A and B are shown apart, each in its own frame.
Chain A
């Protein structure tokens, strides 16, 4: 299996621009998570989906952030407009359905390093 795929791997943009991050989960996984990692705040859960439905978006920092999962193999995280404080590494992770695994192991993608100037 190819693992979780994220694109782009690096993104440099200017303040005020729209940024779209993309994720393809592992086939057969029905949970998808978006995380943000910074030195100050560590690894924070932004939002997660189950069977393409957003379950908990309480970690989304503000209305500038939105996430969608139109089908089982694709999700996007959008920031509009972007600000310098959004600079971070954004990880997508997926996990298999409950019942197929004893524990909630999450499989992380390589991440997107976002820099907002």
Chain B
């Protein structure tokens, strides 16, 4: 089976940089994804890493180390609208994802 660990809550101020870590245990690995969910909304896709290294998309970057079963999401130039829950998810095949419990990011002025 799969299990993922991520911090339950992270706080930061506007303009800062924050890193949300994710460690996983899985019997099969098809990549690490990150999703964002605002309160009352639906999860939306942010990024995907299949290979080791850093993927950058605007203010957001995601990193993966398969040998360490570890990844992180890096959010730069934080804005108030970034306050949301962030989920890491492991794919065990093309189709299915197992989600972590989520990290609530609180951005203050």
Query: Which positions in A face B, CB cutoff 8 Å?
Result: 31, 33, 42-43, 45, 48, 50, 55-56, 91, 95, 98, 102-111
Contact = CB atoms under 8 A, between A and B. Distances in A.
Secondary structure dominating the interface of B: loop
A48 B95 CA distance: 9
Contacts of A103: 31, 33, 48, 50, 91
For A31, A98, A104, which residue has the most chain B Cβ atoms within 10 angstroms? A104
Contact of B98 (A45, A107, A108): A45
Secondary structure dominating the interface of A: strand
Contacts of B43: 43, 91, 106, 108
A43 B97 CA distance: 10
A91 B95 CA distance: 16
Interface of B: 30-31, 33, 41-45, 48, 50, 87, 91, 94-102
Given A104-B33, A105-B48, A45 B97 contact: yes
A91 B98 CA distance: 14
17 contacts: A31-B95, A42-B100, A42-B101, A42-B102, A43-B99, A48-B96, A56-B96, A98-B94, A98-B95, A102-B48, A103-B31, A103-B33, A103-B48, A104-B30, A104-B33, A105-B48, A110-B41
Contacts of B45: 105-107
A105 B30 CA distance: 12
Given A98-B95, A104-B31, A108-B44, 16 more contacts: A42-B101, A43-B43, A43-B87, A48-B95, A56-B96, A91-B42, A102-B48, A104-B91, A104-B95, A105-B33, A105-B45, A105-B48, A107-B45, A108-B42, A110-B42, A111-B42
